Amino acid sequence: MASAQIIDGKAFAANVREKVAAHVARLKEVHHITPGLAVVLVGEDPASEVYVRSKGKQTVEVGMKSVEHKLPEQTSETELLALLDQLNADPSIHGILVQLPLPKHLNEDLVINRIDPAKDVDGFHISNVGRLATGQKAMVPCTPLGCLMMLREQHGSLAGLNAVVVGRSNIVGKPMAQLLLRDSCTVTIAHSRTKDIEEICRRADIVVAAVGRPQMVHGDWIKPGATVIDVGINRIDAPEKGAGKTRLVGDVDFDSAAQVAGAITPVPGGVGPMTIACLLANTLTACCRSHGLPEPDGLTA
């Protein structure tokens, strides 16, 4: 029996989208500006195609302009960089996202760093990484931003709380740690090689699991009452559902952790829906900044 509050990421994301849509409507009415997001997909990875379609649909639903560039697998680096230069120069585009992973012949770092940092709604450009780390205004990666929003809603101020981030990826773990530090948490980054990881997690008021290992964080790693944010999305065999069936699980063993935690995000339906909602929030923020207008309340780091 779960005793933790289950954080409803789907409802939270819907609320973020509503706030974005309301702000977009005002921008259009008062300033005659429509935020625009360009998504670039190279090749035909089926999972990426699903994400890109979903991004485009939600962008339009909040009243923004959505542009999709689908390029063939064999696209050269020169061609891709030329497209980014064109999008960088296009005043109707405020956000640019290059869907990852890219085909192997393309240099991801080179491509990401060609995006105008002011339009880098993924927050992956080296200048945004540096800005986040030094406390300057940055574009912040969407998934950690979504986690931060949920944590602020749960706790109000995060100042002084012990936070453990399990995982050290550039996309989630490292920026998550930076954001928690900016909100005055005492932050520990744990990872696959960390000694006494259970002990370290047991001291945490906040655990963010983003390590990519199914159900690694168990209930007995969790301090009673702690908030647990599960970023993992792993597909595992589910023989109980029938031969050959699978199911999605997080990096947290939900059933045991939910007995101890104060609040916990489920998988699916927790952090997942927040990522695209935060992409829309970032596009709106980029648009406001580019026009020198006030940033939307509650939608930025």
**Catalytic (active-site) positions:** 55, 99, 122
In the complex, the smallest distance separating the C-beta of residue 258 from ligand GUN, rounded to whole angstroms, is 26
Backbone angles phi, psi at 202, to 5 degrees: -65, -15
Using the minimum distance from each CB to ligand GUN, give the nearer residue, 235 or 241.
235
| Residue 40 CA to its chain's centroid (Å) | 18
Taking CA atoms, 258 is separated from 8, 107, 172, 237, in Å, by 14, 41, 23, 22
Q: Which residue lies nearest ligand GUN, judged by its C-beta?
A: 100
In the complex, the smallest distance separating the C-beta of residue 90 from ligand GUN, rounded to whole angstroms, is 19
DSSP 148: H
Using the minimum distance from each CB to ligand GUN, give the nearer residue, 81 or 100.
100
Using the minimum distance from each CB to ligand GUN, give the nearer residue, 35 or 123.
123
Positions touching ligand GUN (CB under 6 A) are 97-100, 122, 142, 171
Neighbours of 37 (CB within 10 A): 29
Taking CA atoms, 145 is separated from 118, 169, 202, in Å, by 17, 15, 24
DSSP 119: G
Q: Where are the beta strands (DSSP E) in the chain?
A: 5-6, 36-42, 65-71, 95-98, 162-166, 186-190, 206-209, 227-230, 234-237, 246-249, 263-264
Using the minimum distance from each CB to ligand GUN, give the nearer residue, 172 or 258.
172
In the complex, the smallest distance separating the C-beta of residue 108 from ligand GUN, rounded to whole angstroms, is 10
